[in-house]
Amino acid sequence: MPHDSTDLRDLNPASKEYLEAVFELEEEGQRVLQARIGERLGLAPATVSEGVKRLVNEGYVTVEGARDISLTESGRAVAGTLVRRHRLAERMLVDILGIQWHLCHEQAEDWEKVMTSEVEEAILAKLEGEPTCPHGNPIPGAESSIRWADLKPVAQMEAGERGRLTRLLEDVELNHDVLKYLEDHKLIPGCDISVSEVAPDGTRTLVVDGDRVALGRQLADNLWILPA
């Protein structure tokens, strides 16, 4: 069930960003450390350290062992709602308002702040296909038939392998220029791709709708496919 929007309205804006980052890193199966949060949000270590301390004091996260960060029950409820509203806002912008695919992530940041549980339900009712954001990330709380555990990054594909692009990780969503490049080359969730060549440095040459597209290792590691 959606979290009470009244509580979210009083939450520190920076805390919202941290909670979303922790939720997304956990969702992607990554170890959640302050350094990784800093990389994702583009923040200095000292800034992240203060932000995490605030979340601990507010009861949203715990820090264990070698600085591993975990969401508490209340932290997960809030973070899940924040992520859900952001991804629903993206779908509304793209599917209903016709905003370009590569622009929706940035604009959704404003829409998610004013979304209510009633609006969430209304958008969900209008969605067609899998309940994901336009970039293929699952909408928390909605059931999907996608076999998420079967996905693997393009960076692990070998020459001759084929698959369907299914998910772009959040690191990709944060880069407008990368999203524009992917959209221009038809590399959006649902497209079928094959690897024609793997260079010594890890660069992969993909065939997408008959066209060849080169992806460096870092970008290829953030695009996940369902093997054919």
Per-residue pLDDT reduced to its tens digit, 178-204: 999 999 999 999 999 999 999 999 999
pLDDT, residue 179, reads 93
Residues paired with residue 212 on neighbouring β-strands, in sequence order: 207
Alpha-carbon gap, residue 69 to 67, rounded angstroms: 6
Q: What percent of the chain has pLDDT over 90?
A: 79
Binning pLDDT at 50, 70 and 90, where does residue 13 land?
A: confident
With a cut of 90, say whether residue 114 has pLDDT above it: no
Which of 50, 45, 52 lies closest to 72, judged by CA? Answer: 52
User: Which amino acid is located at 87 in the chain?
Assistant: R
Residue 48 within a domain: yes
- Residue 96 covered by a domain: no
The torsion region of residue 79 among left (phi > 0), alpha (psi -120 to 50) and beta comes to alpha
Task: Out of 55, 75, 95, pick the residue that ends a domain.
Answer: 75
Integer Cα distance of 101 and 84 in angstroms: 18
By residue range, what is the domain housing residue 55? 5-75
Please give the helix or strand (H or E) that residue 88 lies within, else none: helix 73-91
Give residue-wise pLDDT tens across range 128-167: 899 999 999 999 999 889 989 999 999 999 999 999 999 9
Is residue 134 classed as helix, strand or coil in its secondary structure?
A: coil
Question: Residue 163: CA atoms inside 13 Å, Cβ hemisphere, count?
Answer: 24
pTM of this prediction?
0.89
Structure tokens at 186: 């038809």
For the chain, the domain total comes to 2
Cα 57 to Cα 41, 61, 73, 133, distances in angstroms? 21, 8, 14, 31
207 in a domain, yes or no?
yes
CATH number of the domain where residue 159 is located: 2.30.30.90
Residue 23 has pLDDT above 90, yes or no: yes
User: What's the mean per-residue pLDDT of the chain?
Assistant: 91
Would you say residue 180 lies in a domain? Answer: yes
* Residue 85 pLDDT: 95
Cα separation of 78 and 98, whole Å?
29
Per-residue pLDDT for 3 more than 60?
no
| pLDDT at residue 2 is higher than 70 | no
pLDDT tier for residue 59 given thresholds of 50, 70 and 90: very high
